[in-house]
Structure 1
Amino acid sequence: MPRYARSEREALADLMLELGPDAPTVNEGWTTRDLAAHLVLRERRPDAAGGILLPPLRGHAERVRLRIAARPWPRLMDQVRRPPAWSPVSNPVTDELANTMEFFIHHEDVRRASPGWLPRDLPAGLQAVLWRRCAGLARLALRRFPADVLVQAPGYGALSVGRGGEPVRVVGSPGELTLFLSGRQRVARVQVDGPPALAGQLRGADLGM
């Protein structure tokens, strides 16, 4: 059985090691060092990881992340590459479920911050896994969007989310839709059709978690 979480993790670690700690990422204001610290916090500091999603805990999470980011770069990259077996999100039982989308997205965060990037030709199996994750991601990201949004991945499926009104259609491969729905619209290669105002609003919406 393919281990996409592991392969995306290894590819991301290799790329960050090649580019160094000060390379840009798609995440505004974050370098590769910032991203690496985020990943280490998420896997190794459950006391602070809740701050990734919960505003009341964000201050503590950010203080922990900054302390992690100050570690020597080789040590930080080793911790990204080799998560602890006890981690709630990266143990052998949870790794594929919790980390395939996470590491795919962050791999692309680094890849697409460099000039001249091109989309990868992803394995069909990875595309299928990402599409299965897209349903939950779309419902979360578009729960407040003031229109019906039809999300289509040709060859994989379609789903409709939103709050009603004039429809907007987003078409792309599962990988590109994953990036779009996680708030990376400016680097996601998708087609957005619908009323111009709504299409523009969707392209500029804050869809990240």
Structure 2
Amino acid sequence: MGVNWAQVERRAMVEAMRREGPDAPTLCTGWATRDLAVHLLLRERRPDAAAGMFLPPLGAWTGRVTRSYAARDYDDLLDDVESGPPWFSLFALPDKYLNLAEMFVHHEDVLRGGADPTGPWTPRELAPGLSAALERPLKMMGRMTMGKSPARVTLRTPDGRDLLTVGSGEPVTVVGTVGELLLFAFGRAPVDVAFLGEPAAVALLSMARRSL
């Protein structure tokens, strides 16, 4: 069956969250590590509350459930996050596929939480199997987050493989490892990537919103 890299990243993310504590910054604007833990639990265990993130009429209910989770002991929250989606969750059976990008990106949100978004970053070295597994969500999510990009973006690995081309406008090639390209596609910073293209097109791409 192979390695479930979503579970590997989940465990590593929780370990980092325990090490950093409940009030550490993350790359998710306005969220500390406790807020991130609550988000993950609502996503996997409380679809009734998670829906309020997209449906304003449910916003009050989402806020109430969020506050109840946030008031819990931090270690208890992390125990639930680490245990994964319960059997009744929409994410339980397809965990290996639907949660890999989520766990990887949020793991990096914790690891890079205190970093200067405009500064350089030396990424961790990923296992080859994890890098390979991340290619699928990169191609899928990149089309969603950069489909309206103001540049014609090509995501390229350092060994010259083009994984995705999307958007319209002047061509810009973004070069980086699969993990860094995925983080770039999600609008995270800092990331370790290089740009090939006209400076004006690179600037437009850098300023464009990249998220779901």
TM-score above 0.5? yes
Among candidates 153, 158, 161, match of residue 157 of structure 2: 153
Contact 2:151–2:205 (Cα < 8 Å) also in 1: no
Structure 2 equivalent of residue 162 of structure 1: 167
Contact 2:9–2:100 (Cα < 8 Å) also in 1: yes
> How far apart, in 1, do the equivalents of 2:208 and 2:95 lie?
30
More deviation in 143-152 or 25-34?
Answer: 143-152
AA at the equivalent of 1:95: D
> How far apart, in 1, do the equivalents of 2:52 and 2:147 lie?
21
CA gap of 1:57–1:199, structure 2 versus 1, over 3 A, is farther
AA at the equivalent of 1:101: A
Contact 1:50–1:57 (Cα < 8 Å) also in 2: no
Structure 2 equivalent of residue 192 of structure 1: 195
Contact 2:150–2:205 (Cα < 8 Å) also in 1: no
User: Which structure 1 segments of 5+ residues have no match?
Assistant: none
Is 1:103–2:103 an aligned residue pair?
A: yes
Is 1:119–2:123 an aligned residue pair?
A: yes
State the identity %: 44
Structure 1 equivalent of residue 20 of structure 2: 19
> How far apart, in 1, do the equivalents of 2:81 and 2:8 lie?
13
More deviation in 20-29 or 111-120?
Answer: 111-120
Contact 1:101–1:130 (Cα < 8 Å) also in 2: yes
Contact 1:22–1:33 (Cα < 8 Å) also in 2: yes
Contact 1:151–1:158 (Cα < 8 Å) also in 2: yes
TM-score (norm 1): 0.89
> How far apart, in 2, do the equivalents of 1:66 and 1:181 lie?
30
SS in 2 for 1:151: strand
Is 1:87–2:89 an aligned residue pair?
A: yes
Is 1:180–2:184 an aligned residue pair?
A: yes
TM-score (norm 2): 0.88
Q: CA deviation at 1:50?
A: 3.0
Structure 1 equivalent of residue 77 of structure 2: 76
User: Which structure 2 segments of 5+ residues have no match?
Assistant: none
CA gap of 1:199–1:115, structure 2 versus 1, over 3 A, is closer
AA at the equivalent of 1:3: N
> How far apart, in 1, do the equivalents of 2:175 and 2:77 lie?
37
RMSD of aligned Cα (Å): 1.9
Is 1:205–2:208 an aligned residue pair?
A: yes
SS in 1 for 2:28: coil
Post-superposition CA distance 1:81-111 (Å, at most 9, x none): 113222111x2x2111111111000000000
CA gap of 1:57–1:4, structure 2 versus 1, over 3 A, is farther
Is 1:137–2:119 an aligned residue pair?
A: no
Q: CA deviation at 1:66?
A: 3.0
> How far apart, in 1, do the equivalents of 2:155 and 2:79 lie?
38
Q: CA deviation at 1:62?
A: 4.2
Bigger relative CO (Cα 8 Å, ≥ 6 apart): 2
Q: CA deviation at 1:57?
A: 6.0
CA gap of 1:55–1:196, structure 2 versus 1, over 3 A, is farther
AA at the equivalent of 1:86: F
